[in-house]
Structure 1
Amino acid sequence: MALLEQSDGRAATSRPAAPADVIRTSGLTKRFRGGQLAVDNLDLTVPRGTVFGFLGPNGSGKTTTIRMLMGLIAPTAGLATVLGEPMPGGVSSVLPRVGALIEGPALYGFLSGRDNLARIDAADPTADPRTRSRRVDEALDRVGLTAAAGKKARAYSLGMKQRLGLASALLRPRELLVLDEPTNGLDPQGMREIRALIREVAADGTTVFLSSHLLDEIEHVCTHAAVMAKGRLLVQGTVAELAARASGRLVVRTPDVALAAKVLTGRQVADLTSEEDRVSGTPLGDLELPELCAALVEAGVRVHGFGVERGTLEDAFVALTGEGFDVAG
């Protein structure tokens, strides 16, 4: 280990450089009793400083993966490192540097929201008890629960419980924040507030690992994403890269929908859909768009609008899995 010279002349041991990736897995696999394969040979990389969306339908293996990353369950095979430490072996050194909300908050119903947070903070051996009250109040304020801080947790709505769980993850600054479906139970306004909070935390330098089945959630807050389905990782990269995997849709706006569809069918445009004044489809091969527009005009189609809409994350997901997706949020 390298030594540095302090200003007073004494030698000081340097800390190892922080790993570029806060999460890395190799061949990570989890098979439960009865042979159920929940996670299958997962190779995942989460770069430091990103807001990383872990995307997939319910039952795709997201929560099982997170539980392995946090050392809550052991993998059947493969390796996982979090903040440069192997898991689950590095639990004692890793977890104090991580804030997490997994599968909803575990709360004491007979305690108030404030007392729940104080109990959680007291369980952290690195937390200074002299500043506990301030930390609890600041966390409650960040998630909008100051007014309900004295209410018993059993009287909280599902959305309020979710907010309190998020507050518990934010009691102290962390290198990594792991959130499993953080907007469950929240109304649209609550969702917007939590997303704004995630951006704020990321701007402070915390890497955020966000699991969700809501496509809209990923597109609003994430810089990077990975798509899971049936226990397997399908793709990972920046959100823009994933969206770019989907072919753009050619859109023609015209009152002559039937005629336009006929021309497009003969010009290698597939998967046509028609509405009142719009025809869209997927261009095949090397179509020259100016020539295609000219062909429509020559056929007597009154073209009021013509262009290619860029692919979206939803388009990419459907192309990868052949499934629809929950875009609510």
Structure 2
Amino acid sequence: MDARSATEAERQDAGAGVIATRGLTKRYRGGQLAVDGLDLTVPAGSVFGFLGPNGSGKTTTIRMLMGLIAPTSGTARVLGSAMPGAARTVLPHIGALIEGPALYGHLSGRDNLLRYDAADPTADPRTRRARAGSALERVGLTAAAGKKAKAYSLGMKQRLGLACALLQPRRLLVLDEPTNGLDPQGMREIRSLVRELASDGTTVFLSSHLLDEIEQVCTHAAVMARGRLIVQGAVADLAAGARGRLTVTTPDTGEAARVLKEQGAGDVVAADDQVTADPPERDLAEVNAALVAAGVRVRGFGVERASLEDAFVALTGEGFDVAG
């Protein structure tokens, strides 16, 4: 892609979104409604977290976006073109890791990458081995490059699948649960790599059921539940939409709990030397003054910053798998 066409592509992405769906719906045979009327917009240059519990419709949505299955109704545009009709022209600009990597177990990690690269009609065979080596290095598999893929651990297979997606520079990278099977150090490395790719201008669409993963690496997010879109927007805005918990540190927890309830606080919980509650709809300075007036020895008073978990619970009334 020359500089002029690259600039034009960036302009189109910024105007319409790298991914844009309208009323996207998938109903499987037997009546199961997997995705229900999805309106999604992924801004260019974002790290977009697609968040929801397992079974919420995330992978089905991604499969429709990549042209692997057709929607029952609605539309999906990726890089400005309608899918699945434009798959042949769109997919060469996308790197993807969906539902785990499909690997040749009898081949080494390096040979798997060479085979994937050879299947790309746009790939220059003269630089194939260099690209494979670079991709292996980026995901931390250089030392295991000669090992057969069938002997790889789940985490190593996940890394190799990601390396396949990184063989060529891409305008869009689509990752479905990219840290699945990785240990904590591996998770940190993949998250760091995602940030690096985004800083280079690649739009990253990252599906996950891990709230902390989305909060750590994503600029924007959408929340799915039972096939429907609950909310989407900048991660900071989503968290700001939920009120944090009020925390009072005091040796007089019983009296503090009583006063907070009188002041309109909800879900009051006392434990050790702290009382937490949902803040009342009034000036918190007045609440603090009421505690002091009641003889409560206030040693700490404040509202913790709301997290994405708080926002999810506020929006859906459900808990969430935070740790995975």
Map of 1:323 onto structure 2: 318
1:125 maps to: 121
Residue of structure 2 equivalent to 1:9: none
RMSD: 1.4
Partner of 1:226: 222
Identity of aligned residues (%): 74
Q: Does residue 1:22 correspond to 2:18, yes or no?
A: yes
Question: Is 1:293 matched with 2:288?
Answer: yes
Task: Kindly indicate whether residue 267 of structure 2 is the aligned counterpart of residue 271 of structure 1.
Answer: yes
> Which string of whole-angstrom CA distances, capped at 9 and with x for unpartnered residues, describes residues 96-139 of structure 1?
00000000000000000000000000000000001000000000
Return the alpha-carbon distance in structure 1 between the equivalents of residues 184 and 241 of structure 2.
29
Q: What amino acid is the match of 1:82?
A: V
Which protein has the bigger helix share?
A: 2
| 1:178 alignment partner in structure 2 | 174
Task: Structure 2: state its 5+ residue gaps.
Answer: none
Q: TM-score, normalised by structure 1?
A: 0.94
CA distance in 1, matches of 2:191, 2:270: 35
Q: Which residue of 2 aligns with 1:306?
A: 301
Structure with greater Cα Rg: 1
Post-superposition shift, 1:59?
A: 0.2
- Relative distance call for 1:130 and 1:154 in structure 2 (3 A) is same
Whether 2:191 is the aligned partner of 1:195: answer yes
| Residue identity opposite 1:280 in structure 2 | T
Rounded to whole Å, the distance in 2 between the matches of 1:227 and 1:257 is 36
Q: Which amino acid aligns with 1:294?
A: A
Deviation at 1:15, TM superposition (A): 5.2
Alpha-carbon distance in 2 for matches of 1:60, 1:328: 17
Match of 1:160 in 2: 156
| Distance in 2 between residues matched to 1:164 and 1:313, nearest whole Å | 30
C-alpha distance in 2 between matches for 1:157 and 1:249: 41
Give unmatched runs, 5+ long, in structure 1: 1-5, 7-11
Shift of 1:18: 2.7
1:240 aligns with 2:236: yes
The correspondence for 1:69, drawn from 56, 65, 72, is 65
Quote the Cα distance in structure 2 between the aligned partners of 1:156 and 1:82. Answer: 33
| TM-score, reference length from structure 2 | 0.96
From 86, 89, 104, give the equivalent of 1:90. 86
Query: Secondary structure at the residue paired with 1:209?
Result: strand
Q: Specify the alignment match of 2:145 in structure 1.
A: 149
Instruction: State the Cα distance separating 1:284 from its structure 2 match.
Output: 2.9
Letter in 2 for 1:38: A
Q: CA deviation at 1:19?
A: 2.5
**Rounded Cα–Cα distance in structure 1 between residues aligned with 2:83 and 2:101:** 22
